[in-house]
Structure 1
Amino acid sequence: MVVFDYQPGRGREGPSDMLKSFKGHVQTDGYSGYNFLDKEKDITLFHCWAHARRKFYDALQNDKSRAECALEQIQLLYAIERTARDQSLDVQQTLALRQQKAVPILNALHSWMKKTYIETTPKSVIGRALAYSLKLWNGLATYTTDGKLNIDNNLVENAIRPVAIGRKNYLFAGSHEAAQRSAMLYSLFGTCKLHGVNPFEWMKDVLQKIPAYPVNQVAQLLLHNWNK
């Protein structure tokens, strides 16, 4: 399922409430509001290489040689992921490939970053890019420990792009309640897209059935259970 959740602020309260009974992996960018997840015993927090890579793209104008060196190594990591997809490797095969190919690249890149960081100015763009990756390093390397994990959270980034574009156009939701209702609709339509279901057909079918549908069985009408 796809879930969009609206919160009136960016504090830890939102993710803390949503994930209070969650067990598993959570992938995020480096925003400090998620740091508390690292202390949860049933949650493994790990991080996104796309966000780390973007920092080095931003540093190309500041220190081209160092930024390009980092980007070349990151590109090698992504090439391994493309190989796994192109060959339709399963979870165990993907894990084996990452352990064999990606881990040595990561180890060398980590050593290079630590050495290079002390040679740069901390407040420079390249210095901040290196500091970002080094601070999150364990989380950035976690994807190599499980074949079902992704190297980045671009699936989520792509899913929220319509929200970001829409937000620039309509500017305001009107109220917190209206924003929450919008999040609910985004969740439903996002799940339609995930399952390849025409949202108009689903809504028409559900709205016709729901008035007489047993309340204790209404979950059957959600996208992941729905049978037209």
Structure 2
Amino acid sequence: MLDRTLTLPEDPEELRSFTARLLAEVKAQAILIEKLRHQLAGHRAHRFGASSETAEQLQLALETSEIAAAAMTARMCLPDIEEKDKPKRRPIPDHVPRMEVELTPGADACADCGGRLRRIGEDVTEELEYIPGRFIVNRIVRPRLTCACCEKFVQSPLPSRPIERGRPGPGLLAHVLVSKYADHLPLYRQSQIFDREGLDLDRSTLADWVGKTTALLEPVADAIGRHVLSAEAIFADDTPISMLAPGSGKTQTARLWTYARDERPWGGAAAPAAWYRFSGDRKGQHPKDHLARFRGWMHADGYAGFEDLYRTGAIREVACMAHVRRKFVDIHRSQGSPIAEQAISRIAQLYAVEKEARGSPPDVRVELRKAHAAPVFEDLEVWLTMQLTTISGKSPLAAAIRYALTRMERLRPYLDNGILELDNNAAERGMRAIALGRKNYLFVGSEAGGKAAAIAYTLIETAKLNAVDPHAWLADTLARIPDYKITKVDELLPWRWKG
């Protein structure tokens, strides 16, 4: 569109449509420019020499940029652009087992005139598939038939596919996604592993698959988000992740947020789930947008950006005892403080009550807490207040005590409400996968790349929470979703999957 003379339409609706298409192409071109900039940096490093660490970071930079570009292309429904100078991919080697499936129209007679159908040839499509532990090739044969009387042409259509480029099967797409976001294996390393199997799957192809696959699965991730926000109580946390700053080649600190629902501690019927969101910074507006439709209790740390959420009363805060305990543990380890040790011991008594209450209905949990936890909680507050008078107000221990007293006031609701927890560990557990992944791929290439990661984490971590094999579920979902009605997407959620 950008390389030809433009004539603006006069009709307002056509003009709006034209503007939307033009904006989409501008965005796509911007992504391509960023990708080429990274490629140029890679060529320069190769020419002038670079350390292995720098070379690895360049690979990761390209990987994340390509995922972002593919995801953006898929969401905008833009056509794939073939690279003219790209060498042709090697054919799938003969040693990979072939599984042949023949698709026929099902009838021997012409639907129009009843004449006999005769075979005049066939079309063969090969699809590379992954079954845990091995690769196979699905060889799809579609006979070409013609009517002997009226010469009508008849052929079965090719089944819908998750994505077209490279002809990957749903199991292979699921394998690449799980390997990257659950096993923390960057795409360039996956490409090296595939190459040892004789499979020519370069990093850019895998990145294209990841971007398009996450875009295709976005409605499922959105459904998980709706499920989380329909809870009476959720858990919230965030963690930093580096993102390439557009045009500078430098990185900036972005955030991945998680919102979890987990009713298992009190025997609730709803499935556990974790919903991840990405943002380019840590401004409080992001959780405000994420939680615009949520009403209820939220377990969280003391992040100041959450304060706006609590002002209206629609969202009520529950603080986290694990954060309180952690500060005393750090002081005890560094200073051997007997006061810190005593605080840890008293907090342990609260957790002992929770261990006994786990799995019980809310009313039983409240009874146990009032009988056994409330006295310990009250004594802990009084004791901490007294300790402040015996130590230097400027010491780290005093800071930990002041923090504890502030947070305990906001933790008190858990004593009277059986659906609430003593800590925010449900959300913090959801961040462990991010921490492991961060060590392996260092950063995301853009906000689009961060969004792709958030979708993947939502799908994989929610499957794991429900004791569902992420690969098996994703493979089946990817096989079904191209023809699935968007209004029925809830049927694809992992806890409803029958493997």
Q: Same fold (TM over 0.5)?
A: yes
Task: Report the alpha carbon displacement of residue 227 of structure 1 after superposing the two structures with TM.
Answer: 4.5
Distance, in Å, in 2 between the alignment partners of 1:94 and 1:17 is: 33
SS at match of 2:392: coil
Residue of structure 1 in register with 2:81 after alignment: none
Residue 65 (structure 1) aligned with residue 338 (structure 2): yes
Residue 18 (structure 1) aligned with residue 18 (structure 2): no
Which of 24, 39, 46 is the equivalent residue of 2:318? 46
1:103-162 deviations in Å (ceiling 9; x for gaps): 111111111112222332233110111011112222122211211211111122122112
Structure 1 vs Structure 2 CA RMSD = 1.6
Trace 1:31-42 onto structure 2 (pairs within 5 A). Answer: 31-42=303-314
Residue 189 (structure 1) aligned with residue 460 (structure 2): yes
SS at match of 2:476: helix
Q: Is the alpha carbon distance of 1:168 and 1:102 closer, same or farther for their aligned partners in structure 2, counting shifts above 3 Å?
A: same
SS at match of 1:45: strand
Residue 4 (structure 1) aligned with residue 276 (structure 2): yes
Task: Report the alpha carbon displacement of residue 40 of structure 1 after superposing the two structures with TM.
Answer: 2.7
Distance, in Å, in 2 between the alignment partners of 1:97 and 1:37 is: 31
Residue of structure 1 in register with 2:409 after alignment: 138
Amino acid at match of 2:319: H
Which of 69, 91, 101 is the equivalent residue of 2:372? 101
Residue 149 (structure 1) aligned with residue 420 (structure 2): yes
Task: Report the alpha carbon displacement of residue 225 of structure 1 after superposing the two structures with TM.
Answer: 4.0
Residue of structure 1 in register with 2:443 after alignment: 172
1:167-189 deviations in Å (ceiling 9; x for gaps): 12211111111011101110001
Residue of structure 2 in register with 1:123 after alignment: 394
Contact 1:46 1:138 in 2 (8 A): no
Distance, in Å, in 1 between the alignment partners of 2:372 and 2:489 is: 47
1:73-96 deviations in Å (ceiling 9; x for gaps): 1011011111223xx422111111
Task: Report the alpha carbon displacement of residue 208 of structure 1 after superposing the two structures with TM.
Answer: 1.4
Distance, in Å, in 2 between the alignment partners of 1:184 and 1:198 is: 17
TM-score by length of 1: 0.92
Amino acid at match of 2:395: S
Contact 2:320 2:407 in 1 (8 A): no
Amino acid at match of 1:149: L
SS at match of 1:3: strand
Amino acid at match of 2:310: D
Contact 1:28 1:153 in 2 (8 A): yes
Task: Report the alpha carbon displacement of residue 38 of structure 1 after superposing the two structures with TM.
Answer: 2.5
Distance, in Å, in 2 between the alignment partners of 1:197 and 1:165 is: 21
SS at match of 2:275: coil
Contact 1:62 1:125 in 2 (8 A): no
SS at match of 2:279: coil
Contact 2:384 2:405 in 1 (8 A): yes
Task: Report the alpha carbon displacement of residue 23 of structure 1 after superposing the two structures with TM.
Answer: 0.9
Contact 1:27 1:47 in 2 (8 A): yes
SS at match of 1:22: coil
> Where do 5+ consecutive residues of structure 1 fail to align?
none
Distance, in Å, in 2 between the alignment partners of 1:19 and 1:213 is: 28
Distance, in Å, in 1 between the alignment partners of 2:394 and 2:299 is: 27
Task: Report the alpha carbon displacement of residue 63 of structure 1 after superposing the two structures with TM.
Answer: 6.1
Distance, in Å, in 2 between the alignment partners of 1:130 and 1:94 is: 27
Distance, in Å, in 2 between the alignment partners of 1:42 and 1:189 is: 30
Residue 163 (structure 1) aligned with residue 434 (structure 2): yes
Q: Which has the larger radius of gyration?
A: 2
Amino acid at match of 2:305: G
Amino acid at match of 1:51: H
Distance, in Å, in 2 between the alignment partners of 1:40 and 1:21 is: 13
Residue of structure 1 in register with 2:478 after alignment: 207
Distance, in Å, in 2 between the alignment partners of 1:100 and 1:160 is: 34
> Where do 5+ consecutive residues of structure 2 fail to align?
1-272
Residue of structure 2 in register with 1:84 after alignment: 357
Identity %: 35
Higher normalized helix content (fraction of residues):
1
Distance, in Å, in 1 between the alignment partners of 2:459 and 2:348 is: 35
SS at match of 1:5: strand
User: Which deviates more, 133-142 or 69-78?
Assistant: 133-142
Higher normalized strand content (fraction of residues):
2
Amino acid at match of 1:47: A
Amino acid at match of 2:292: K
In the TM superposition, structure 1's runs of 4+ consecutive aligned residues that sit over 4 Å from their partners are none
SS at match of 2:276: coil
User: Which deviates more, 105-114 or 214-223?
Assistant: 214-223
Q: Is the alpha carbon distance of 1:49 and 1:138 closer, same or farther for their aligned partners in structure 2, counting shifts above 3 Å?
A: same
